[in-house]
Amino acid sequence: MLSSLFTSVTTAVLESLSDVTQNPVSIVIFSFLTLLVIALIFATFLPSWRNGLVTIKILEEDERPSSLLFWIIGLILIVKLVQGFIIQPFIVDGGSMLPTYHNKEFLLVDKFSYLVETPARGDVMIFKLYEGGSNPYTGKHLIKRVIGLPGERVVVRDGVTTIYNKDEPNGFTLEEPYVTYKETRKNVDLTLDENHYFVMGDNRSQSYDSRDWGPLDEKNIKGQVLLRIYPFSTFSYEPGQYIYTK
């Protein structure tokens, strides 16, 4: 039990650290903290470095570099645990979710909800792409909308999406009021197993999604969009989420 918990925590922290490179804001903050940690390590052993940090007001006259060093490392670990299990920042890259989401919007992603419940049709989720073999998006975070659920058959033909499942064996046409830019050339017919989802971008004409690389493995799902923070004029809770009646 403890071993499994330790493994989960370690994996979450390492994945969170690796995600830093995909977020410009995180790169700046993490680079600053890394330089500060290095400076404090040197200051622990070299009086000249300690005096320099005192001069620029990073350390107090009577403060030991090691105490601030441990505090910063602890803070980094706490932040990474929060990002690994609870909430994580995300910046939209590209126009695959237009008009719902725009390039460079700053979002907060809820990672906790999917630990206790399964994704629902209409959720806007963030995931890491490993499907589809070799492509320029492998290993990157993408933002798409959940269209097909595990066990369902999804048919996309001439821009119309039809879902077949146990409750609707004859299929039903999916309402998609969030789609403004349609695409009629990408046709697909897929049946999902119990561990996969079908996702598409709202901008169907420019989205690289399950129509191209197939079903999304649930283990690669990171979370759902909780808040749109920036631009401040568009601040909103669960922006773009659509609740289906079926």
Q: Are 92 and 105 in contact (CB under 8 A)?
A: yes
Active-site annotation holds for 96: yes
Angstrom distances, CA of residue 132 to CA of 54, 148, 185: 53, 18, 19
Q: Indicate the pLDDT class of residue 5, thresholds 50, 70 and 90.
A: very low
Q: Which domains does the chain show, CATH number per domain?
A: 2-85 (no CATH), 88-237 (2.10.109.10)
Give residue-wise pLDDT tens across range 164-207.
999 999 999 999 999 999 999 999 999 999 999 999 999 999 99
Vertex 232 angle, CA 226 and 235, to 5°: 30
Chain-centre distance for alpha carbon 124: 10
pTM of the model: 0.76
Sign of CA dihedral 57, 60, 42, 83: negative
Q: Which residue has the higher pLDDT, 146 or 5?
A: 146
Q: Which residue type sits at 123?
A: D
State the helix-helix crossing angle for 24-45 and 65-85, rounded to 10 degrees: 150
- What mean pLDDT do residues 145-159 have? 97
Q: Which residue of the set 80, 111, 128, 144 is catalytic? A: 144
Using CA atoms, how far apart are residues 246 and 24, in angstroms rounded to an integer? Answer: 39
Q: Name the band, by pLDDT with cuts 50, 70 and 90, for residue 131.
A: confident
β-bridge partners, 164? 153
Q: Which of 26, 96, 207, 210 is catalytic?
A: 96
Instruction: Give the whole-number percent of the chain exceeding pLDDT 70.
Output: 88
Cα distance between residue 204 and residue 230, in whole Å: 24
Is 144 among the catalytic positions?
A: yes
Which two tokens mark 27? 């790169």
DSSP letter for 206, please.
T
pLDDT of residue 137: 81
In this prediction, residue 6 has a pLDDT band, given cuts at 50, 70 and 90, of very low
pLDDT level of residue 157 (50, 70, 90 thresholds): very high
Q: pLDDT digit string (tens) for 22-75?
A: 566 667 877 888 899 999 999 999 999 999 999 998 999 889 999 999 999 888
- What's the whole-number average pLDDT of the chain? 88
The 10s digit of each residue's pLDDT in 72-121 is 988 888 877 777 789 988 999 999 999 999 999 999 999 999 989 999 99
| Residue 158: Cβ-neighbour burial (10 angstroms; 0-12, 13-18, 19+) | exposed
What sign for the dihedral angle of Cα 29, 32, 34, 40?
Answer: negative
pLDDT at residue 4 in the model: 44
What backbone torsions phi and psi does residue 229 show, to the nearest 5 degrees?
A: -90, -45
- Beta strand pairing status for 196-200 and 160-164? unpaired
Peptide bond into 136 cis (omega under 30): no
